[in-house]
Amino acid sequence: MFRLDDTDELKKFNNSHLADSIRGLDKQVEQVFEDLKSFEYSEKYNGIKKIVVCGMGGSGLGMRVFQSVFSEQVKISMELVNGYVLPNYVDSETLVMLCSYSGSTEEVLSCLMDAQKRNAVISYFCAGGELADRASNIGLEGYVFDPKNNPSNQPRMGLGYAITAQIVLFAKLGFIEFGEEEKESILNAIKESNLRFGELMPTENNQAKKVALEILDRQASIVGAEHLRGSAWVMRNQIHENAKNYANAYFLPELNHHLLEGLGFPEGIWEKLYFVLLESENFSKRIKQRFEITRKVLHKQSIEYAVFVPDQKSVLGEIYEVLIFGSWVSYYLAYLNGIDPAPIPFVDFFKEELGKL
């Protein structure tokens, strides 16, 4: 029996309920749709000509996914800010969307003050905290969610909130079109993917388990393109925080212009690298060609890789399938590394030290 097929041991490993959060992604998505079913923005949210989204770590993942799939639909400029200060162009015609799972992210709260100074149009979503309190006090319109379907209580595992809230709120503002068909595509993808990659599916038929076993003791490089860029970034973050394992994310076509020459040194580096290529039948012809040649270059440099091609047919279905796949990979890798996937001791230590200053 493969090591990852001992379901009794995997159940014991789930003390922090992280696996339950992965399985509950569809419930998170359904909750957001239900919560926001009757929500509408007032007229003061009309006339927006620019969008800036502020979010850090897990709270910023929603915008990365949103940009990768909806950038062609949104007809005004969008930018993600991972810092304390807004771009200089932010003004009264700019929507500043504040994203903080905890509601206490100091960079996001700093951006709130900056947005107020610039008379920006401000919205938000969070699970409460100082952001919710401040937003209520100054009359902002947004979404405070109850993270009841994220039993691990880890922001990075609340993807159903972070991504779906981004989608629904921007649809309410008229920036994108999103309906019942898209919603069902997402829910079906999540349910089917949890069956394919969950603990009960044996390793021989479970690519998430296979990839985790290959990444073990190596550095993971996740490669995406087009609509799967955001999902690749999420997978990188979850490998960092869940598995405590080094990982990076690269994107085609940019990767082809530099990284291919950076795989030769230090001597023996190829033994410590493992690439996960997130490919898609929905990619443009040129990107498909680039992936094919990229595989040839990796082979020539003796670097091992896995190719993951989603089973889902729709773009949105593919995105959520990759999110589930990556979540399970990070979870299994944490198990193989012998470490609880939920705590983030060094991030917590850093925040504690910063709070003393």
In this predicted model, what pLDDT tens digit does every residue of 64-113 receive, in sequence order? Answer: 999 999 988 999 999 999 999 999 999 999 999 999 999 999 999 999 99
Q: What is the share, in percent, of the chain residues with pLDDT greater than 70?
A: 99
| Residue 59 pLDDT | 87
Q: Which of 312, 57, 321 lies closest to 193, judged by CA?
A: 321
The average pLDDT across 23-47 equals: 96
Check residue 22 and give its pLDDT: 98
Residue 1: band (very low, low, confident or very high) from pLDDT cuts 50, 70, 90: very low
pTM of the shown model: 0.96
How far is it, in rounded angstroms, from Cα 12 to Cα 140?
43
DSSP characters over 308-324 = E--S--SHHHHHHHHHH
Hey, how many other C-beta atoms are within 10 angstroms of the C-beta on 263? 17
Indicate whether 335 pLDDT > 80. Answer: yes
Q: Give the model's pLDDT for residue 98.
A: 97
Res. 271: pLDDT tops 80: yes
pLDDT in tens, 242-269: 999 999 999 999 999 999 999 999 998 8
Residue 3 pLDDT: 84
Tell me what pLDDT residue 2 has.
Answer: 63
Give residue 58's pLDDT: 84
Q: What value does the mean pLDDT take over residues 166-180?
A: 93
Rounded to the nearest 5°, which phi and psi values hold at 238? Answer: -70, -35
Residue 212 to residue 239: CA distance in whole angstroms: 10
Cα–Cα dist 77/85, whole Å:
18
What is residue 179's predicted lDDT score, i.e. its pLDDT? 87
Would you state the pLDDT for residue 152?
Answer: 96
Please report which confidence band the pLDDT of residue 357 belongs to, taking 50, 70 and 90 as the band edges: confident
Mean pLDDT of 143-166: 95
